[in-house]
Chains A and B, each alone.
Chain A
Amino acid sequence: MSTTDTYYIPHKATWPVIGTAGLLTMLAGFANYLNGSSIGPTMMVLGLVIFIIMLTGWFTLQATESESGMYSTQVGISYRMGMMWFIFSEIVFFAVFFGTLWYTRNLSVPWLGGEGTGAATKELLWPSFDATWPTNGPKALGVDESGARKFGAELEPMGAWGLPFLNTLILLSSGVTVTWAHHGLLAKNRDQLIKGLIATVALGFLFVSFQAYEYHEAYTEMGLTLGSGIYGSTFFMLTGFHGLHVCIGAIILSVVLFRSWKGHFNPENHFAFEAAAWYWHFVDVVWLGLFIFVYLL
């Protein structure tokens, strides 16, 4: 419950500059690393440390202010709008990679195989390329049944019904547990809140571990890598960015869990919880899209 009606406007902010400096150092370090410069990794670690310090500091500040009732309902609305549009921008980011998958799979790979107006393309570039999906592209050389050379080696796709299906169940249940935690929060049942959050975070990390295992299999057993043509590119880009977002979501939820354990939040005032839950549902929905378009179809 807000104890104030004036819109809280902080008068000085040091964390934003520190955070920016951290991110800049991290990215400049990464760029140096990619260019083969030896100071790259050091800069990255330094930047990451600064960034984590910023996150801790800024989150603590917000939590303290929130708990001391400095945020009116109107401030809460601003935060909710901010989170909503942030998630929207993330959805757009994923849409780019889904779009890429759609375009290559349904348009450009068939064109390479001679479909539409691509007949000359096929004839002139890679006449024996088989435009099937999944493909690792014409540059991968293979041999067909008769022993003749052909373009586009066999590629084993990642199956849907093993780990990925299990991961689907895991994420869906985590959506249930976070809602259960929310009900606990609303009913002032802190025990349920904390248990629900612990379950959600645990399921999140379980998901990530399974995915790590899947990647390991892909790289060592199946020969499926980022370099496996367009299939490998889209597969790892989509699942990789999603996995990263699961990690971020799980970390946010851990912070919320920590705060719940410290006794923060009440039925009227729990923006951080809501934001984390929204984010988690977003990650959930993206996964459903992945399961259908990357694994199943």
Chain B
Amino acid sequence: MSAVVAEHDDHHDDHAHGPAKGLLRWVITTNHKDIGTLYLVFSLAMFFVGGAMAMIIRAELFEPGLQFVQPQFFNSMTTMHALVMVFGAVMPAFVGLANWMIPMMIGAPDMALPRMNNMSFWMLVAGISLLASTLFMEGGSPAGGWTMYPPLMLQTGKALPFAIFAVHLLGISSIMGSINIIATIFNMRAPGMTLMKMPLFVWTWLITAFLLIAIMPVFAGAVTMLLTDKFFGTSFFDAAGGGDPVLYEHIFWFFGHPEVYVMILPAFGVTSTIIPVFARKPLFGYSSMVYATASIAFLSFIVWAHHMFTVGMPIAGELYFMYATMLIAIPTGVKVFNWTATMWKGSMTFETPMLFSIAFVVLFTMGGFTGLMMSIAPSDFQYHDTYFIVAHFHYTLVPAAVFSLMAAGYYWLPKWTGHMYNEKIGQLHFWLSAVSVNILFFPQHFLGLAGMPRRIPDYAVQFADWNMISSIGGFIFGASQLLFLYIVIDTIRGGTGEKVTDEVWEDAHKHGLEWTLPSPPPYHTFTTPPAVIPTEHI
């Protein structure tokens, strides 16, 4: 395969601009790396804010009875925890990675629409601020669940319009970010970087961006109708006026199911990027990975009502959504197979990013299996709205989406900062997280099967033991994440002191253009496109 000649001519680029001076740099920047950093730092902060809320939830559930908080506040916490984690932590973290990596991976000078890039970040901050402001309002912040079902949601106090407008702002932010990503990928690739040579991270983000543009307006429409139902006398979700509250659920889940894939597809991309490097083999089944991702994205639009099996749908609907949902297991299986086959007979090493990625494969598969269980409509009547589903989606989100973010962090931090992180603490962070996340979420399967409902501050004594174990796991998991915070700060400030090479990981240059750049890369990279591109990731 061809050699890599990456030209980054910043040194003799006389109109090269450095960053602006002082704090203002971060406010008015249009640089994809700066904006990527902003997104990542913001999402890390939100990860801890949302995490603190989770700690409140687990503390209250440590024992039966009411110990620390009022039920209303407890419900606020479950609602806000979900909204902050989904819209403030996981999604922005992936957008941050996209900003940093996509231009470097495809040999582009920057994102296609740099001004809009800046705006989508600040819209995110505006949206989350509006949402967070509800914590201090009369009537408390929204407590009707992140799904915001009417009529319950309409009982929210002063927070309601703020939460709704927060959704609008977050939607605008996501749509702008996605448009930017699509335009960048379609219009900014270096010559020779054909679509089927793109790293999978780029592919998964391309598909995710399409999903986002197709679903964020749907969510915006749904909450707009909530707003008019509450304040302008409409009756979209009110049977007395001829509307139907179930309609809201359909609209919400038409958004909501693809939304969960928005959080996992880029994670698939990260995993497909990292495993080959540490298995020292090209990714197994590159094109099948692309097609599997596209199929998952397509299927995600036609399975939404598996969240509504108990709502009273016609039997034909139950059956259709059951079988359609099961279909998703096929492309998902393809992916898991390919990751495993990539590792097969590889000469593997187990640095922190690889550990997190392997844990991703194993634990995501767990979440996929419980998903499959719930896709069986008659069984789901038992699982629905219990802790079983809480366990399901936390397996797909925490040891999957969040672990892949951790993996990405460890994998690219040396590239971003030019410093090596402390591998010992990294491994400690991994093992503490991997063990405690299972102590935290595995017992929730048992609780759910035994009938413990979700979103309640108190429970029958028969659930006490597993809840206590789950909470202990939760506290260990929460505390372990402080290690990650420490490592990130430490690495930025010099890490182990070891100067990292351009490719950081052994032979990484075979796996992506970013490893042909200096660590840290110059403020502007690829102002002229790289002449030849590596093809070995195929």
Binds A, one of B219-227, B321-329, B434-442: B219-227
Q: Is B454 an interface residue (CB 8 A)?
A: no
Kindly identify which residue among A28, A81, A233 contacts B234, using a CB–CB cutoff of 8 Å.
A233
- Known A-B contacts A31-B165, A103-B247; the reply to A81 vs B119 at CB < 8 A is no
Interface size classification for chain B: 35 or more
Does A23 count as interface, using CB distance less than 8 angstroms? Answer: yes
User: How many angstroms from the CA of A9 to the CA of B305 in the assembled complex?
Assistant: 44
List CB contacts (< 8 Å) of B115-172 with chain A.
115-116, 118-119, 122-123, 125-126, 129-130, 133, 158, 161-162, 164-165, 168-169
B-binding segment of A86-94, A176-184, A265-273: A86-94
Whether the pair A35, B161 counts as a contact (CB closer than 8 A) is yes
Check A27 against B130 for contact (C-beta < 8 Å).
Answer: yes
Shortest C-beta distance, B141 to chain A (Å), equals 13
Given contacts A81-B186, A125-B239, A136-B241, contact A103 B123 (CB under 8 A): no
Taken together as a complex, chains A and B put the C-alpha atoms of A95 and B254 apart, in Å, by: 12
What separation, in Å, do the CA atoms of A86 and B180 have in the docked complex? 10
**A109 x B242 contact (CB < 8 A):** yes
Q: State whether B168 touches A27 (Cβ < 8 A).
A: yes
Residue of A nearest to B245 (CB): A108
In the complex, A104 has a CB within 8 A of chain B:
yes
B residues 2-60 in Cβ contact with A at 8 Å = 17, 20, 27-31
Query: Does B192 reach chain A (CB closer than 8 Å)?
Result: no
Binds A, one of B209-217, B443-451, B456-464, B505-513: B209-217
Considering the chains assembled together, what is the distance between the CA atoms of A58 and B175 in angstroms?
19
Please determine whether A16 and B235 come into contact, CB atoms closer than 8 angstroms.
no
Question: Which residue of the partner chain, among B183, B227, B228, B239, contacts A81 with CB atoms under 8 Å?
Answer: B183
B221 with A97: CB separation less than 8 A:
yes
Q: Are A13 and B30 in contact (CB under 8 A)?
A: yes
**B431 sits at the interface (CB 8 A):** no
- Taking residues whose C-beta sits less than 8 angstroms from the other chain, chain A's interface range is 35 or more
Interface SS of chain B: helix
Q: A10-B115, A112-B239 are in contact. Are A85 and B179 (CB under 8 A)?
A: yes
Nearest A-chain residue to B32, judged by Cβ:
A9
A225 to B241 CA separation, bound complex (whole angstroms): 12
Residues of the A chain whose Cβ atoms lie less than 8 Å from the Cβ of B218:
92-93, 95-96
Residues in chain A near residue B123, CB distance under 8 A: 20, 23
Cα(A17)–Cα(B27), bound, Å: 7
Cβ–Cβ contact B242 & A93, under 8 A: no
A72 to chain B, nearest CB (A): 11
Q: Is B197 an interface residue (CB 8 A)?
A: no
Known A-B contacts: A9-B110, A17-B27, A112-B242. Give 19 more (CB < 8 A): A7-B109, A13-B28, A23-B123, A24-B126, A81-B179, A82-B179, A89-B216, A89-B217, A104-B243, A104-B244, A108-B239, A116-B314, A137-B238, A152-B242, A227-B233, A230-B236, A232-B234, A237-B225, A237-B236
Which 4 pairs, one residue from A and one from B, show the smallest C-beta to C-beta distance? A96-B221, A230-B242, A16-B119, A137-B242
Chain A interface (Cβ within 8 Å of chain B)? 6-7, 9-17, 19-21, 23-24, 27-28, 30-31, 34-35, 58, 74, 77-79, 81-82, 85-86, 88-90, 92-93, 95-97, 99-100, 103-104, 107-109, 111-112, 116-117, 125, 135-139, 152, 225-227, 229-234, 236-237
Which B positions have Cβ atoms within 8 angstroms of A? 17, 20, 27-31, 109-110, 112-116, 118-119, 122-123, 125-126, 129-130, 133, 158, 161-162, 164-165, 168-169, 175, 178-180, 182-184, 186-188, 213-218, 220-222, 225, 227-228, 231-236, 238-244, 246-247, 250-251, 312, 314, 524, 527
Q: Can you give 6 contacting A-B residue pairs, CB < 8 Å?
A: A16-B115, A82-B179, A93-B220, A103-B244, A108-B243, A136-B241
